[in-house]
Each structure stands twice: as C-alpha cells, then as structure tokens.
A and B are shown apart, each in its own frame.
Chain A
Amino acid sequence: MEVEEIKKKIFEVLEKAKGKKKLKEKDVCRIVSEETGVDKEEVKRILRSIIDEGKLCYSYSGGASSVEIPSEEYLKEKGML
C-alpha cells in the first residue's frame, strides 16, 4: 500500500472518531493496521511523520493523551495558517 493511501486512511480514522472517541497513537495504529493489513510499526512511523509536519497533533484531556486533527482556529493561533 502506498504511503499516501495510509496517510489518507489515518485521517479517515481520526475524522470518524472526532467528537466521539479520543484515539491514542496506539489505537490509531491498531485500527489502521487492522483495516489495511499494513504492519503497526509502519503505520506508527507514518503517523509520526504527519505529526512532525504539524498536520496532526497530540492532545491532552483529563490526564490522557490522544491524537487529533488540529482545528483551523488552533493552527491560526500557532501561526501555521
């Protein structure tokens, strides 16, 4: 599977969970790996590359960290939009 397709899948999974469930890095890797057959470690590597680009962010709520698609408002606050 192409890297771009895996990236798309990662966004799809996070978009679907938005507002319903906070997904940890591990959850994203597991779901994407189950749905695509790509090794979890490879998904993790790609997920982290997206986080490094700033297109995805870690988030923190109630003591637990998760991965989220940043809002436009936040990207503006950061000067990234």
Chain B
Amino acid sequence: MPKKYDTPLLNELEKGPWPSFVTEIKKAAAWNKMAADELGQLEKSYRTRLVYWKHGGIVGVRGYGGGIIGRYSELPDEFPEVAHFHTVRINQPTGWFYSTDALRMTCDIWDKYGSGLTNMHGSTGDMVLLGTRTESLEPIFAEFSSRGWDLGGSGSAMRTPSACIGQARCEWANIDSLDICNEMTQEFQDEMHRPAFPYKFKIKVSGCACDCVAAIARADCSIIGTWKGDIKIDQDAVKWYAKNGTDIQNWIVDMCPTKCMSYDGKELKIDNKNCNRCMHCISKMTKALKAGDEKGATICIGSKAPIVVGSLLSWVIVPFIKVEPPYDNLRALIRKMIEWWDEYAKPRERIGELIESKGMRSFLEYIGVPPVPQQIKEPRKDPFWFFHGDDIENIKKLEAEEKKTGKYKF
C-alpha cells in the first residue's frame, strides 16, 4: 500500500535508541488501511494538540459488559478507516505464558478483523488489541472463545486479575501467585463480565515483596507473598559472595530499610524481629539467604492510579494469611471487601478512597479483621481506628486462640 500521509512530527518519535510505536504503526500501515488512517489522525493530533477520539458508549459483545472499549473517530470523513476503532481486551494467560502458536493465532485473528496493532500488555494485564469495527466484534469474540479464550474486564467491574510469573520461574516466590490469580479469575467471572460495581476493582498477586506486577501501586486488593520466622543464612555462601566481589556492607547491610542487618567482615547477622521482609537482601544474595519456611501472603488494600482523585498506594490490612488451595479464606475476604465497598461507595469511588472517607473502623468491622499495628500506613498517621472498651479483650482472645490452635485468623 502506498504511503498515505506525511508524518513529520511522528517521525521525531522514531529517533533515539528505543523501539518506537510509530515505527510499528508504520509497518502495519504498509498493508492495513486502519493502521494507515490511525497514523494520519495521530499526526493531526500532534499538529493541533487535540484528541479526536470519542471513548466509551454501548459497544460490546452480546451478554458482556466488559472487554470491549468503544472508540470512534471525531473525524470520520477525513479518516474513514478509523471511524470505528474499538479496543478488545483479551484475558491474558496467568503470568503471561504463551506458546508461539497462541501468539500467532492472536495476530492472525487481529490481522483479519482489526488494525493489526496490539498493546502487549495493558496496565491491567490484558492483551490489548487496538482498533476494530463494531460489526467485527461478535466474529472476533467467536474466534477467540471457540479456542478457549475469553474477554477481560473493563468498566465498573472486576478487572482481569494478574500475577507475576511466580513459582513457575522464580525461586523467590513465597506463594503460588499463578494458581491464586487463576482461581480468583474463575471465582469472579460474573463480576468481570457483568459490570455492577461502583467502579473498577483490581486484584494483583505477587509472589514476593519485589512485587513484579506492582500490586502495591496498581491493585485495589494486593496479595503479596511473604513469610513468618527467620531468614535462613548460609554463612559459607555469604563468604562466597564476599570473595566474589559483593560489597556486603554497602550493597546489602546499609541498604536494608529497617537497618536490622550487621556484618563484621566474617558473619552476617539479621535481627529478624525488625525485618520487614522487603526481599532486598534475599534478591541480592540468593545463594546465601532464604525466606523462612512458613509461607503466606500479606493482603493490602486501596492503591490506584490518579484518576478522579490522586493516586494511592496500598496499605496493609492483613499482615499474614495462609493462602493454600482451595483459597476459601481469600475468596471470602475479598467478597467481604467488595460487599462493603458496593454498599457505601459513590459512583466512581475506589475502595481506597472510600476507606479514607468512611473510615477504617467501618471497613475492618465489616470484613471481620481486627485492628493491628501493621495497618498503620505511616508513622504518626491517624490509623482511622478509635478503640472501644472491648477491642483489646477481643484481640487478646483471638491471639490466645491462634496460639492454642496454631491456626491463624487474621
């Protein structure tokens, strides 16, 4: 196909050492009319500094309320091939493991019905297929669903849960992030495809505090693998690291955020009660340091990007919870969180914002989690909890029960 538009401004974005989205759109534009008009409209946007997309609306697949994001050009006469330019979100395989066959199949379907442009992956985690027409939506869905794939979430719904690669490839994983993510995806199918929430709700699962899926910053409910007990130290391996050029004092000990490590040039020591299990030392000296044996997860709540009001980071709600199949405790806890939010939230209010406005006490009481010091997000920050007379007694009872039974409540 001959070049349709001159793009002097977009060409600037091809300079420099990094891969350029402009180059990729140009490659697609060589054979795909939609991609060519997308390039033309984008150049015009850079020139006029105006956006020409209309977003949202009724566009979707029959029976589904999520997975398709309607997009129409405001300039259909000038750029007719992008008059419709809807986005399709496909629920990614957990941990983003694909066979090459699956990737080829995806691209073949998208070349047939869409612009050929993809975004792997959207910030929620889905495969994002950019630009198709309304009449192609049902055929696209039929192509994917007949091969066992499904749409992801969008709108005021449960968004597609995502997880780090976890135990499949990572020795630091404290929990099976892949299995948890898959189970939560199955659990909340109805909530993903039939948007009935006040706003979006995201679940992300990281196997450890390195948090490769940025659960702490991007999920309403962050599930992050952790451990109880002491970090296991292999002093011979510590010596090996020192001998092979690791500056243990500067790179490990001095960078421990709680300053709970010490090193005398021979022996590495950790004051475990002050360790916050950040993973820094373990990730730097994997052969020498291992997480404690008792594995579980920390559940945090409330992070979000800065839409509507400012961004929030998650904060700890449950410092340690066992997460093992069939994850009934996790399912019940998340359902409780959602119930409370659904009951009280205004439209477009995320759960973190609601906790800030309605108070932590109301939230914790509803979900049945006692107040604990770890829930205090920042030093000297109001923990949103005013203790009533019987609170202390209840916590003591719970602790005594935990000790007796060995079973962790929250």
What is the number of residues of chain B that contact chain A, defined by CB distance less than 8 Å?
32
* Complexed CA–CA distance, A23 and B63 (Å): 17
CB of A60 within 8 A of CB of B155, answer yes
Instruction: Say if the beta carbon of B56 comes within 8 Å of chain A.
Output: yes
Which stretch (B15-23, B130-138, B261-269) binds chain A?
A: B130-138
Chain A residue, CB-CB nearest to B156: A65
Which stretch (B39-47, B192-200, B207-215) binds chain A?
A: B192-200
Instruction: Say if the beta carbon of A36 comes within 8 Å of chain B.
Output: no
Which one of A52, A54, A65 lies within 8 Å of B195 (CB-CB)? A65
Query: What 1/0 mask marks residues of chain B from 194 to 230 whose CB sits below 8 Å from any chain A CB?
Result: 1110111000000000000000000000000000000
Contact residues in B for A70 (Cβ distance below 8 Å): 58
Which one of B138, B200, B307 lies within 8 Å of A78 (CB-CB)? B138
Instruction: Say if the beta carbon of B91 comes within 8 Å of chain A.
Output: no
Query: What 1/0 mask marks residues of chain B from 234 to 258 whose CB sits below 8 Å from any chain A CB?
Result: 0000000000000000000000000
Query: What 1/0 mask marks residues of chain A from 38 to 81 whose CB sits below 8 Å from any chain B CB?
Result: 00000000001001111001111111110010110010011100
CB of B194 within 8 A of CB of A48, answer yes
Among A25, A54, A60, residue most surrounded by chain B Cβ atoms (within 10 Å): A60
* Complexed CA–CA distance, A60 and B199 (Å): 11
CB of B134 within 8 A of CB of A78, answer yes
Chain B residue, CB-CB nearest to A71: B58
Chain A residue, CB-CB nearest to B69: A60
Instruction: Say if the beta carbon of B60 comes within 8 Å of chain A.
Output: yes
CB of B56 within 8 A of CB of A62, answer yes
Contact residues in A for B194 (Cβ distance below 8 Å): 25, 48, 51, 58
CB of B348 within 8 A of CB of A68, answer no
Instruction: Say if the beta carbon of B92 comes within 8 Å of chain A.
Output: no
Instruction: Say if the beta carbon of A18 comes within 8 Å of chain B.
Output: no
Contact residues in B for A59 (Cβ distance below 8 Å): 56-58
* Complexed CA–CA distance, A58 and B64 (Å): 7
User: What's the minimum C-beta distance from A53 to chain B, rounded to whole angstroms?
Assistant: 8
* Complexed CA–CA distance, A31 and B255 (Å): 58
CB of B65 within 8 A of CB of A58, answer yes
Instruction: Say if the beta carbon of A7 comes within 8 Å of chain B.
Output: no
CB of A58 within 8 A of CB of B60, answer yes
Chain B residue, CB-CB nearest to A49: B63
CB of A58 within 8 A of CB of B138, answer no
Instruction: Say if the beta carbon of A9 comes within 8 Å of chain B.
Output: no
Which one of B135, B199, B307 lies within 8 Å of A77 (CB-CB)? B135
Contact residues in B for A71 (Cβ distance below 8 Å): 58
CB of A65 within 8 A of CB of B65, answer yes
CB of B60 within 8 A of CB of A57, answer yes
User: What's the minimum C-beta distance from A29 to chain B, rounded to whole angstroms?
Assistant: 9
CB of A79 within 8 A of CB of B195, answer no
Query: What 1/0 mask marks residues of chain A from 2 to 28 whose CB sits below 8 Å from any chain B CB?
Result: 000000000000000000000011100
* Complexed CA–CA distance, A25 and B63 (Å): 13
Which one of B57, B62, B69, B156 lies within 8 Å of A54 (CB-CB)? B62
CB of A64 within 8 A of CB of B57, answer no
* Complexed CA–CA distance, A52 and B347 (Å): 25
* Complexed CA–CA distance, A79 and B84 (Å): 15
4 extra interface residue pairs, beta carbon distance < 8 Å, beyond A52-B63, A58-B64: A51-B62, A52-B62, A59-B57, A74-B134
Q: List the interface of chain B (C-beta within 8 A of A).
A: 56-60, 62-66, 69-70, 84, 134-135, 137-138, 154-157, 194-196, 198-200, 307-308, 342, 347-348
24 example contacts (A-B, Cβ-Cβ < 8 A) are as follows: A24-B156, A25-B65, A26-B196, A51-B62, A51-B194, A52-B63, A53-B62, A57-B60, A58-B58, A58-B64, A58-B66, A59-B57, A60-B56, A60-B58, A60-B69, A63-B199, A63-B200, A63-B307, A64-B347, A65-B66, A68-B58, A74-B134, A78-B134, A79-B138
Sorted nearest first, the 6 A-B pairs with minimum C-beta distance are A58-B65, A65-B195, A65-B155, A77-B134, A59-B58, A52-B63
